[in-house]
Structure 1
Amino acid sequence: MIKIPHKEFKDRINRMKDQMKREQFDLLIIYGDEYRRENLRYVSNFWPLFERGALVVPYEGEPILLAAPEGENVCKEMSAWPNISLIPDFACVTVPDDIEYPHANYTSFGSLFADIQQKTFVRKVGIVGDDAMSRQVYAAIVDGLAGCEVSDANAILCESRLLKSENEIACLKEAARIADVGYKALLAAAEVGKSELELSAAAHQAAFEAGAEAVPFCLVSSGKRVETIIGRATGKRIEDGDMVMAALAIQYEGYIATINFPFVVGTISERQRQFIDLLLEANDIAISKLRPGGKQSELVKAVKEHFRNRNVSQYDLYPPLHGCGVAEAESPYPNESTEGVFAPGMTVNTDISLFGHPDGSNRIEECFVITKDGYERMSRLVGELSRQWKETGNIDPAIVQ
């Protein structure tokens, strides 16, 4: 089974400690919950369910994972770190009631930080994920850190997550493989009279059977509903000639790959063909800019210039590329003034879209890893669908069997 080994979590913490030294942080607190799991999963492998969690990283000493009672056993099962403490403030994310856990062996932020202070001097503390915390949790942490300077440390993990290891790339490739399986099932289910929910169900079933850990989203919209941009599947039934916008994100061992390819069910019009051709041309332009040392801004400029030349800029709503990893969309997220360059080990998604166009709304999304020689596709399906479309003007049914 493809996994991130324990040693790699240790290496990540050691790199973070190097950054802590540069920033003069004595302690880092990396927060996560069911909804904003990426940072905590990256440093601990733990993904809370219902509850909250955090990894406390002193500059000297081993990390301490903070969890809540219901998730204690799954925390022990998943965690890369053996030192686990329960915090009452982390129990049950979504309700205001006081929930009693009579057998829980709780500590408090104040007691925890006092214990750490006995072993190492703590003056400056960085918090990663403060933008995802509730006001109450943030206040409880700061109260427990009385006398310390508390600062935003989100940049530390953003930098650390930018370049992926061989193990991370392997997990993303596996997520992309599963996404291909799920998307094929979705395409096979796409018939006149089927509901959007049935297409989504086909993708979910196939993806989980193929080994998905989770499906962060499966967007399906058809006909006029494609203009919703990120529309959830509904009971709307697909009619002949409906364009479908379907995006499938698959999570495997914490890593998320997303694919999307535009298609029409039943009779396709010439104007719909031209619209999909337009997206494919822009996607090809974006891919041509994926190379180590290449400016990320040049990719954005090239796609936007293509859309300007085709007089469709008013339908171009957001940047054509973003990173992927433990979040579905993460850095880099370039615009036309971004100074960053592509480097081997970066993993990115092209995200080529036009919404509100009179001939349809849709996107092409596929995932790549930047290599020393150029790039490698992680999704095989999107490239094959693109090739078939260019050759035949349609999707070959044999691809989805």
Structure 2
Amino acid sequence: MNTTTIPTSEFKERIRKFQANIKKEGLDACLVHATESDMAFVRYLSEYWPVFETAAVFVPAQGEAILLVGPESDLYASQRSFFKNIEKLIEYRESAEPDAPGMSFITYKDLLEKYDLQHIRKLGIVGWAITPLPVYTSLKEQLPNVEIVKADMTLWPLRFVKSENELACMRKAYQISELAVEAILNEIKPGMTELQVIGIAQREIYKHGGEYEGHSLYCFCGESTNNAISRPGHNTIVENEVIQLNIGARVSGYSSSVGLPFSIGPLPERKRRLIEFGLEAHKKTIGMIAAGKPAGQVVNDYENWVKNQGFGQYLLYGPCHAIGMMEVERPWMESTSEYLLQKNMTFQIDTFFYDKDFGLRWENGVIVKDGGVEMMSSKFMKYIEL
């Protein structure tokens, strides 16, 4: 079972580093947001993970941080997080917008007064893309003299390079994901629905200590495998067709994903050849990654190699994105990327090719190291024909 966690001392160190960045950017404070599905920023600072409602952490440039929750979550938050400062605001209620009669809340204006923060004049928003509109409008109405700016990059870089505790959580998550894939390969049969196959994975994730799925789990059979993003449904598993799995467990907030195409019975040569080339491209990408290498160079070298091999027409994107508290998070690895790869950055090698009637994705996690990578998953880097 999972005993891998992030200690309270590391959360507190994250807040100290974040406050240093807040000061460096000339901000007086930052308001950090999360939803149930995209909880990463708030959980990264507080260990709190909202359910139904949204949440935020108010972090002044100097002083103690404050966890902000909705009407139903104050007791849950006090049990889940190490924060002693927890406040309830109506703006973080669930999307059904209950009136919550008889309950009391503070406002943002009250918050600044209670914690002696009336000096704040420039407030950064972290999680800009997921900040609820009621939050933004209330800030503008209640704090008219405070300038509000996008400030995601005050916090994002702290998540790029993983600590040893974070890496331990991720290794465990990948281990559980591989156990779930193994169970699927042992139990899958023609006639099962895609959803029934995913049920096998969910059973194994919780059985082995995962706290949740790392992402929407994929099982597709046939034509729907050419979807870059999708969900499983009632489509049935058939023989002699491409079956795509992407299975990820979450451990102490950290996600994973193991992806592979396979079949029950032989495939037509056209389909098998693209799958085999995809695996070759997957391994090629892994060999390109090392600390100190420009991220954009990896992408350009990969895309040029794919085209030179005669498979450019099947390429949608690639070859990597970061992984951590979210299965897809910054930094992306794109042709426009200008950063250097650093030791203990974590990436998904995400190799996706598609044709008109099928597609495939090979996906495994790596830790960037000097001179190469550490694989967090590699057990299923082979073509499997059951």
Q: Give the TM-score taking structure 2 as reference length.
A: 0.94
Task: Tell me the equivalent position of 1:51.
Answer: 53
Q: Which amino acid aligns with 1:162?
A: F
Task: Tell me the equivalent position of 1:18.
Answer: 20
Task: Tell me the equivalent position of 2:235.
Answer: 236
Pairwise CA distance, 1:209: 0.8
Residues 120-164 of structure 1, C-alpha deviations (whole Å, 9 max, x = no match): 621211111132122222111232322111111111111111111
**Higher deviation after alignment, 195-204 or 105-114:** 105-114
Moved over 4 A (4+): none
Pairwise CA distance, 1:270: 2.7
Q: How many angstroms apart in 2 are the aligned matches of 1:51 and 1:134? A: 11
- 1:107-186 to 2 correspondences below 5 Å: 107-116=106-115, 118=116, 121-186=119-184
For the 8 Å contact 1:255–1:327, the answer to whether it is kept is yes
Secondary structure, counterpart of 1:60 in structure 2? coil
Change beyond 3 A, Cα 1:132–1:90: same
Residues 74-103 of structure 1, C-alpha deviations (whole Å, 9 max, x = no match): 2112213111111112111x2144233x3x
User: Aligned residues, how many?
Assistant: 383
Task: Tell me the equivalent position of 1:73.
Answer: 75
Identity of aligned residues (%): 27
Q: CA RMSD in A?
A: 1.7
Q: How many angstroms apart in 1 are the aligned matches of 2:164 and 2:50? A: 26
2:369 to 352, 365, 371: 371
For the 8 Å contact 1:175–1:255, the answer to whether it is kept is yes
Residues 12-39 of structure 1, C-alpha deviations (whole Å, 9 max, x = no match): 1111111111111111110112122111
Pairwise CA distance, 1:119: 5.0
- 1:32-111 to 2 correspondences below 5 Å: 32-92=34-94, 94-100=95-101, 102=102, 104-111=103-110
Change beyond 3 A, Cα 1:73–1:115: closer
Q: How many angstroms apart in 1 are the aligned matches of 2:117 and 2:348? A: 44
Task: Tell me the equivalent position of 2:262.
Answer: 263
For the 8 Å contact 1:192–1:266, the answer to whether it is kept is no
Task: Tell me the equivalent position of 2:379.
Answer: 384
2:209 to 205, 208, 211: 211
Secondary structure, counterpart of 1:159 in structure 2? helix
Task: Tell me the equivalent position of 1:309.
Answer: 308
Secondary structure, counterpart of 1:246 in structure 2? strand
Can you give the 5+ residue segments of structure 2 that lack an aligned partner in the other structure? none
Q: Which amino acid aligns with 1:72?
A: D
**Higher deviation after alignment, 346-355 or 297-306:** 297-306
Q: How many angstroms apart in 2 are the aligned matches of 1:204 and 1:316? A: 31
Q: How many angstroms apart in 2 are the aligned matches of 1:296 and 1:59? A: 32
Pairwise CA distance, 1:111: 0.5
For the 8 Å contact 2:123–2:148, the answer to whether it is kept is yes
More helix by share: 1
For the 8 Å contact 1:113–1:145, the answer to whether it is kept is no
For the 8 Å contact 2:287–2:372, the answer to whether it is kept is no
Pairwise CA distance, 1:246: 1.4
Q: How many angstroms apart in 1 are the aligned matches of 2:61 and 2:230? A: 44
Residues 30-52 of structure 1, C-alpha deviations (whole Å, 9 max, x = no match): 01121221111111111100011
For the 8 Å contact 1:9–1:80, the answer to whether it is kept is no
Can you give the 5+ residue segments of structure 1 that lack an aligned partner in the other structure? none
Q: Give the TM-score taking structure 1 as reference length.
A: 0.91
Q: How many angstroms apart in 1 are the aligned matches of 2:75 and 2:289? A: 43
Q: How many angstroms apart in 1 are the aligned matches of 2:371 and 2:7? A: 27
For the 8 Å contact 1:53–1:68, the answer to whether it is kept is yes
